[in-house]
A and B are shown apart, each in its own frame.
Chain A
Amino acid sequence: EADIYQTPRYLVIGTGKKITLECSQTMGHDKMYWYQQDPGMELHLIHYSYGVNSTEKGDLSSESTVSRIRTEHFPLTLESARPSHTSQYLCASSEYKGGGLYEQYFGPGTRLTVT
């Protein structure tokens, strides 16, 4: 089982609040990712990181921001939550398996509801 953790698992919060979703991994992986998953929709990459102090935006535009100060920690922040941010947020890290393949390990997700 992958050692990647996300907190909180569930969050219901009012519009306008600032929130931080936590993600940590104990595998020492350099590459980490944040995905957004909505029912019946594919996973969309919103942020990724190659390593400490390296972050990039993903394919799906997001008002969230991320930071990578430590290898094991990759938090996601929303400065002002809105109902449109309601979604499941999945954090992942990856390990190079050789031959050009990275295996991604996912956390259990944070289900965010903004009222």
Chain B
Amino acid sequence: QKEVEQDPGPLSVPEGAIVSLNCTYSNSAFQYFMWYRQYSRKGPELLMYTYSSGNKEDGRFTAQVDKSSKYISLFIRDSQPSDSATYLCAMSLGGSGGYQKVTFGTGTKLQVIP
């Protein structure tokens, strides 16, 4: 069983829709929960991160973490064609100094249709 499960999609939505992307995980020790966005032929870039449970909002993006259910979500409001990309969830145990392993999901490919 993978530590992080993510639906690969593809997910196709009309412009302006609310998009919900989700991941589940099995390791209850994860402390940091991240969302990366990867455009075609580019490397991933960090979009948002949250520490432990709760919500975090940044413009049209909201990240939610429910540690009791081991479930994280990324919501995109008023989706735009420029949001078309693959979204990867990622998690880590945290900690300074040494190597901080990051466990990635497989990514969900999103297409926003104009």
Contacts and interface: CB of A to CB of B under 8 A. Distances in A.
Interface string B1-42: 010100010000000000000000000000110000000011
A45 B104 CA distance: 10
A60 to B, nearest CB: 12
B61 interface: no
Contacts of B107: 42
A83 B67 CA distance: 41
Contact of A43 (B2, B88, B99): B88
B95 to A, nearest CB: 5
B71 interface: no
Given A101-B49, A101-B94, A42 B4 contact: yes
**Interface of chain B: mostly helix, strand, loop or mixed:** loop
B69 interface: no
B94 to A, nearest CB: 4
A101 B51 contact: yes
Contacts of A101: 32, 49, 51, 92, 94, 100
Contact of A106 (B44, B49, B92): B44
B100 to A, nearest CB: 5
A43 B30 CA distance: 17
**Interface of chain A: mostly helix, strand, loop or mixed:** strand
B68 interface: no
A99 B99 contact: no
A91 to B, nearest CB: 8
B43 A108 contact: yes
The 7 closest A-B pairs by CB, nearest first: A106-B43, A100-B94, A43-B104, A42-B104, A42-B106, A102-B100, A106-B44
Given A42-B107, A43-B104, 12 more contacts: A31-B99, A43-B44, A50-B99, A90-B43, A96-B96, A100-B31, A100-B32, A101-B51, A102-B100, A103-B46, A105-B46, A108-B42
23 contacts: A4-B43, A9-B41, A31-B99, A40-B8, A40-B106, A45-B101, A45-B102, A48-B99, A50-B98, A90-B43, A90-B44, A92-B43, A96-B96, A100-B31, A100-B32, A100-B96, A101-B51, A102-B100, A103-B46, A103-B49, A106-B45, A108-B41, A108-B43
